Amino acid sequence: MIIKVQHANPLSTEADLLVLPMLEGEKKLNGTVATIDKHLGGIIKTVVSDDGFEGKLKETLFIQTHGKMPAKKILIVGLGKISSLTPIILREASALAVKKAKEVRAKIVVSALHEVADNRKITNRQAGLFIAEGALLGNYHFATYRDEESNVETEKRKTENFVLVDTKKTVVKNLVAGVAEGEARANATIFARDLINTPASDMTPKDLVNVAKKITKENNAISLSVLTVDDAKKLGMGAFLSVDKGSDEPSYIIHLVYKAKKKTAKKVFIVGKGITFDSGGLSLKPPKYQESMKSDMAGCAAVLGVFSKIISIKPQVEVHGVMPVAENMPSGKATKPGDIVKAMNGKTVEILNTDAEGRLILADALSFAVKEKADLIVNLATLTGSCVEALGEEIAALFGNDQKLISQIKDSAKEVGESVWQLPLPQEYVTLIKSRVADIKNIQSGQGAGAVTAALFLKEFVGKTPWVHLDIAGPAWAERETSPAISIGGTGFGVRMLLSFLEKLR
C-alpha cells in the first residue's frame, strides 16, 4: 500500500472510500464532516441519528454518497471523547479504517482523520506519523505460503492507496514529514513480523545471518561481523555453545554496528534473543506449546527490524545489534540436565532445564557487550511463560539496574503505544538461582517468580553497565487481534519503541 499526502479538498477528491473522524459527545457536525453533510443535503446527520452513531471509540458507520460527490462511500470513524484523544487513537482509527476498507474492496482510501489534531495535544506531524503507521500495520497480511487462489482473493480486497488530504499547505507540509516517519516505523515493524511469521525450517540461524547481510548491503552506514561456533569457543562462550549442541543447524552471533558521525558517541547495545525454534531440548515441550515456537526469535527479529530502518532516524549514538541465533533441539549430542558450563564472563552455570535456554545464549551475548565496552544495554527476549502468567499477552515485563534508563524505555514505550510494566529485581531472590555445584543455575528453586529470577540470572552478566531487560514473551506473538493494528502471529513488538528510544539518545 502506498501512503500519500495531497493538497486537496476531501469534498472534491476521487476515492472509493472517504474516511472522516467524529468525536463522542459532539452536539453538531464539525469541519469536513459538516461541509460534506451540507453538500449531500443532510444525509450524514440523518444516518448518524437514525443509526444511533455516537462517535464512540472504534465505532464505525458506512454512508453511501449516491454519486453526489467523487468519493463513492464515506466511513465515519469514532474517536471517543476529545479529552481522551491521543496519537495512538489516531493510529488505531487509521488501522480500523483500512480493515473496513477491505470489506468494501476500496482500492483508494482518502482520509481526513488528521483534522482532529489541534497542535496543542496532537500536532499535524504526529497525526501524519500515527495515521500512516496505523494504515500500514492495519493492512499487514502474511500470505507468503497461501495458495494462488487465496492470494488472488486477498489482492481483490487490498487497498492500494491511502491518501491524506488537506486544503492548507502548512498542514500538508507537516503531514508529509510525519508520514515519512510513520512509514519507516511501520515498515521496520512489518520487517520483523515477516521474519517471525516465517516457518522455522525457512528461518534458520543461517537465514537470519543472510537477512543481516542483506541489511548491510542496502545501507553502507551499517557494518556486520558474524561469530561462528569456532569463534564462540575461542571467546569462551560455553553457555551459548551448550544450546548449539543439540541441533544440526550451526549457530552464530550476529553483530551489526551503526556508526554515528560523532566519534565520542555512546555505544548502545541492543541484544535480541534468536532461538529460531525452541523444542525445549531434552526438557521437551509438550506439542501444543511448540506450535508457535518459530516466534522464539522475536527479540532478534526486533533488532533486525530496527536496523532495517535505522538510517531513517540517524541516531547520534553508536548502535550495536547483538543477536545470538540458534536452534534448541533434542538429540544424542544435546546438553543434558545437570550439565555445567562456563560462560564468557567466567561464571559457571548448572543447566537443570534445557528449556530455559534463552538466558544461556543471552548470558554470553550480554558478556560480549560488556567486553565491547557498552555504555548501556537493552535486551529483548521471549524469555519466560511466567511473564505471560503475570502480565498477560499484551504487556512486556521490564527489568533493569538503572532507573534513568528504565524511565527512558518506559517513555518511549508509552509514546509508541507498546505496553511495558516494571517488575522488581529483589536481591533476596538471588538465592533462588544459586547452585550447590556451580555459581548459578538456569532455573530457580521452588515455585513462582520465574520472570524475576530469569532477569536476575541475566543481571549476573552485565556487571555495572546500565541495562534493561524486556521479557516480551506475551506481546511478541498474538493469538488474536487485540487491536486493529495487530494481526494474528508475530507483532514486531519493540521495534517502534527502540526506534523512538534511539532517536532521542545523545
Model pLDDT for residues 342-396, shown as the tens digit of each residue: 999 999 999 999 999 999 999 999 999 999 999 999 999 999 999 999 999 999 9
Instruction: Please check the confidence at residue 2 and state whether its pLDDT lies above 80.
Output: yes
Q: What angle do CA 291, 294, 296 make, to 5 degrees?
A: 110
Rounded to 10 deg, the angle between the 495-504 and 403-416 helix axes is 120
Cell numbers found for residue 144? 507468503
Residue 156, pLDDT above cutoff 70:
no
* 272-280 mean pLDDT: 98
Residue 35 pLDDT greater than 80, yes or no: yes
Cell of 187: 515498515
* Structure confidence at residue 158 as a pLDDT band (50, 70, 90): confident
Residues annotated as catalytic (active site), given as ranges: 285, 359
Closest CA to 164 of 217, 230, 94: 94
**Per-residue pLDDT reduced to its tens digit, 246-264:** 999 999 999 999 998 888 8
Residue 506, C-alpha cell as written in the block: 545523545
pLDDT of 150 above 90: no
Q: Please name the fold of domain 198-504.
A: Aminopeptidase (3.40.630)
Provide the pLDDT confidence category of residue 27 given band limits of 50, 70 and 90: confident
Q: Give CA separation, 352 vs 227, 355, 438, 443, 446, in Å.
A: 27, 9, 11, 7, 13
Judged against a pLDDT cut of 80, whether residue 272 lies above it is answered with yes
Distance CA 442, CA 196 (A): 26
Q: How far apart are CA 302 and CA 70, in angstroms?
A: 42
The residue extents of the domains of the chain are 2-192, 198-504
| Mean of pLDDT values over 217-231 | 97
Residue 470 C-alpha cell reads as: 524486556
Q: Report the C-alpha gap between 436 and 363 in whole angstroms.
A: 20
In the predicted model, what is the mean pLDDT of the chain? Answer: 96
Quick one: which of 28, 120, 129 has its CA closest to 83?
120
Cβ(85)–Cβ(121) under 8 Å?
yes
Average of pLDDT values for 300-316? 97
Whether 19 and 110 have beta carbons less than 8 Å apart is answered as yes
pLDDT for residue 265: 86
Taking residues 147-173, what's their average pLDDT? 84
User: How sure is the predictor about 151, in pLDDT bands with cuts at 50, 70 and 90?
Assistant: low
Q: What is the DSSP letter of 6?
A: E
pTM over 0.95: yes
Residues 6+ apart with CB under 8 A from 80: 23, 24, 55, 56, 57, 89
Q: What is the mean pLDDT of residues 40-65?
A: 97
- The 10s digit of each residue's pLDDT in 87-123 is 999 999 999 999 999 999 999 999 999 999 987 789 9
Which residues of 329-374 form beta strands (DSSP E)?
339-342, 348-351
Q: How do 396-400 and 420-422 pair as beta strands?
A: parallel
pLDDT at residue 263, as a whole number = 82
CA quadruple 192, 198, 200, 204: dihedral sign = negative
Q: Is the pLDDT of residue 154 over 70?
A: no
pLDDT at residue 308 in the model: 98
Q: How confident is the model at residue 147 (pLDDT cuts 50, 70, 90)?
A: confident
pLDDT band at 146 (very low <50, low <70, confident <90, very high): confident
Q: Quick one: angle between helices 450-459 and 358-371, nearest 10?
A: 30
Cβ-proximal residues to 288 (8 Å cutoff; 6+ apart), any chain: none
Nearby residues of 170 by Cβ (< 8 Å), 6 or more positions away: none
Task: Measure the CA dihedral 456/459/464/469, to 10°.
Answer: -100
Helix (H) / strand (E) element for 116: namely none
**In this structure, are strands 17-22 and 73-78 parallel, antiparallel, or unpaired?**
parallel
Q: Can you state the percent helix, strand and coil of the chain, rounding each to 5?
A: 40, 20, 40
| Count of CA atoms in the C-beta half-sphere (13 A) of 475 | 26
CATH placement of domain 2-192: 3.40.220.10
